[in-house]
Amino acid sequence: MTKVKICGITNLDDAKVAVEYGADYLGFIFAKSPRKVSPYKVKEIIEQLPEDVKKVGVFANQSLEEIAEVISSCSLDYLQLHGDESPEYCQEFNIPVIKVFRVKDESYLEQLKEYQVDKYLLDTYHPNKLGGVGKTFNWELAKLAKEYGEIIIAGGLNPANVKQAIDSVNPYGVDVSSGVEAQAGIKDKKRLEEFIRRVKK
């Protein structure tokens, strides 16, 4: 069954609803973003969630010290590195790393091959933004990465297109943030339910 990651969680209500509908992973953004949330708030949220839901911290080009501090204060299960972190940098942590590749064309694969990480998350390339672009990329390009490990598709997914993405790529998982929002950082419960239902059915 395809795994679902709901990203850009900023409050307990959205987190609980996502878990109730069947989310497997929840993402908390510590990078520069309108969805950025403090470690203090994330700790409060995580303490009230079931253990089997994986909690992912999203960072982009941040220091080892800052990330290590947040891992231990919030008890994160995974790191999602969304910036220009090197293959060596990704080995520095004591929890599994999901490395993000922003896909423009098939040249992204040359980079991806250099990384020994737990999972590869493929997001849409944008010249000025690191994430939360809200646009899809050519999913044919995602199929090429499957021989290197587990891949998660992100970028512009929503309840209307997620099934098509799964049928086309058959990825390990799918990731959504803006496609299930009412406004930046606040989820629309109906869209959230519909998204997860379409993945899980």
Q: Catalytic site residues?
A: 7, 123
- Give the binding site for ligand LGQLAAA5 (CB under 6 A): 7-8, 27, 29, 31, 33-35, 58, 60, 82, 123, 130-134, 154-157, 175-179
d(CA 171, CA 157): 13
With respect to ligand LGQLAAA5, which residue has the nearer C-beta, 24 or 175?
175
Nearest distance, CB of residue 87 and ligand LGQLAAA5, angstroms: 19
Helix/strand/coil percentages in the chain, nearest 5: 35, 20, 45
With respect to ligand LGQLAAA5, which residue has the nearer C-beta, 77 or 175?
175
d(CA 84, CA 99): 10
Nearest distance, CB of residue 9 and ligand LGQLAAA5, angstroms: 9
Does residue 94 sit in helix, strand or coil? coil
With respect to ligand LGQLAAA5, which residue has the nearer C-beta, 9 or 71?
9
Token pair, residue 1, equals 């069954």
d(CA 62, CA 83): 8
Q: Is the sign of the CA dihedral 12, 49, 100, 161 positive or negative?
A: negative
d(CA 1, CA 170): 10
Nearest distance, CB of residue 124 and ligand LGQLAAA5, angstroms: 7
Nearest distance, CB of residue 195 and ligand LGQLAAA5, angstroms: 10
With respect to ligand LGQLAAA5, which residue has the nearer C-beta, 34 or 96?
34
